[in-house]
Amino acid sequence: MSTQLAQRHCVVCKPGTPSLPREEIDRLLEQVPDWTVEEADGHLRLTRTLKFKGFMPGVELVVRIAPIAEAEGHHPDLLLSYGSLTIWLWTHAAGGLTENDFILAARIDEVV
């Protein structure tokens, strides 16, 4: 499913970039319904866990995600385990969520 977010690109964030208010987070979350928002280490982040059989499907998914993240200059935390891949997105410079996180989530959704 392609969304408007998936057609956009991340913008450079500098320290002090404001994080999104909760109302905007909830609005953008509607465009990436397979993701959830959770609090971790004092900030909000997007998270998605994918399940599959074996190890190699997760490796192959990481290989598809990596060039997208690199091209966008926005890099997720990836936890690869046997049978699952967990993806976490948040903007360090903002200390929370920005539109970049939702853009990258939508772009990742296109390769999942």
| pLDDT tens-digit series, residues 22-35 | 999 999 999 999 99
Q: Which residues pair with 85 in a beta bridge?
A: 50, 80
Give the per-residue pLDDT at 3: 65
In this predicted structure, the answer to whether residue 1 has a pLDDT above a threshold of 50 is: no
Which residue spans within 41-83 are E strands per DSSP?
43-51, 77-81
Neighbours of 31 (CB within 10 A): 17
In this predicted structure, the answer to whether residue 2 has a pLDDT above a threshold of 60 is: no
pLDDT band, very low/low/confident/very high, at 81 (cuts 50, 70, 90): very high
Give the pTM: 0.93
Give the per-residue pLDDT at 76: 97
CATH of the domain at 69: 3.30.1360.20
In this predicted structure, the answer to whether residue 90 has a pLDDT above a threshold of 90 is: yes
Q: Is residue 58 part of a domain?
A: yes
Domain range for 100 is 19-111
How many structural domains does the chain have?
1
Contact 77, 85 (CB under 8 A): no
